[in-house]
Amino acid sequence: MSRYVARHEEKFLISTATAEMLKARFRAVLRPDPHALADGSYLIRSIYFDDIHFTAYNEKLAGVKERTKYRLRYYNFDDRVLFLEKKIKDGRYSGKDSVPVNRAEADNLLAGEDMDWTAGGGLLEEFALLRRGTHRGVVIVDYDRFAFTYPAENVRVTLDMDVRTCPYCTDVFNRALPMLPVLEEGECVLEVKYDAFLPSHIGYILEGFPKNHCAVSKYVQCLSVLE
């Protein structure tokens, strides 16, 4: 289990053309994610949870400084390894609490079954209590990620391509869902995370490319399709 650690998080909307140029620069100075497929990417699928008032969604739209959201996530459609995650946001800082779950546990969490999660403690117990209330899965978020890391300041840079969802569907383990893109054509999301400061040579790479600094949320973008 990983616990919450506050880190800087910056997000940008960039063009896919810019993303391709950044990939080439990042490969020269950063380490590629070791879990990536042959082309350097991996697929992320998440189902996000919210209450009947869509509190997490509305707090994001309102710009509430301190907020949380919960999701179940897995990679490359491999449901043997899943993670229940709590994403924490505090102004410019972010972090997450994460715990691995197996497929049976994930199915129970999705169904909201009244199980005893106290043995797992921590995030599992916390979320199980929420799930017994009004929290339920509300939207699936898919995208293809290219990720790079740098050891100094624990830097992680990601390029998220083809952000998509399946409207009005929460069948998160169905590989054949008809997905709908949610960003403008040719757009993708650049995220930069680091501890105390961003090393200057990485900042220099980013300065040389056009980008739109914004607080884009893939969860909000996908859920907005349903409106």
**Which pLDDT does position 1 carry in this prediction?**
47
**How far is 194 from 155, CA to CA, in rounded Å?**
4
Instruction: State which residues form the domain around 61.
Output: 7-224
Exposed / middle / buried, residue 49 (Cβ in 10 Å: 0-12, 13-18, 19+): buried
Residues 57-112 pLDDT 10s: 999 999 999 999 999 999 999 999 999 999 999 988 899 999 999 999 999 889 88
Number of domains in the chain: 1
170 falls within a domain: yes
214 falls within a domain: yes
**How far is 87 from 217, CA to CA, in rounded Å?**
12
Which pair of tokens denotes residue 24?
């080439």
> For helices 122-132 and 103-111, what crossing angle results, to 10°?
30
Helices (H), ranges, the chain: 16-29, 55-62, 103-111, 122-132, 200-207, 218-224
CATH number of 113's domain: 3.20.100.30
Task: Note the pTM of the prediction, 2 decimals.
Answer: 0.93
Q: How many CB atoms lie within 10 A of CB 96?
A: 19
199 has pLDDT over 70: yes
Residue % of the chain over a pLDDT of 70:
94
**How far is 153 from 120, CA to CA, in rounded Å?**
31
3-class state of residue 64 by DSSP: coil
Short-list 159, 135, 155, CA closest to 145? 159
Exposed / middle / buried, residue 162 (Cβ in 10 Å: 0-12, 13-18, 19+): middle
227 has pLDDT over 80: no
Helices (H), ranges, 30-133: 55-62, 103-111, 122-132
77 falls within a domain: yes
47 falls within a domain: yes
22 falls within a domain: yes
119 has pLDDT over 70: no
74 falls within a domain: yes
Q: How many CB atoms lie within 10 A of CB 10?
A: 18
**How far is 143 from 45, CA to CA, in rounded Å?**
7
1 falls within a domain: no
Residues 7-26 pLDDT 10s: 999 999 999 999 999 999 99
The mean pLDDT of 141-153, rounded to a whole number, is 97
2 falls within a domain: no
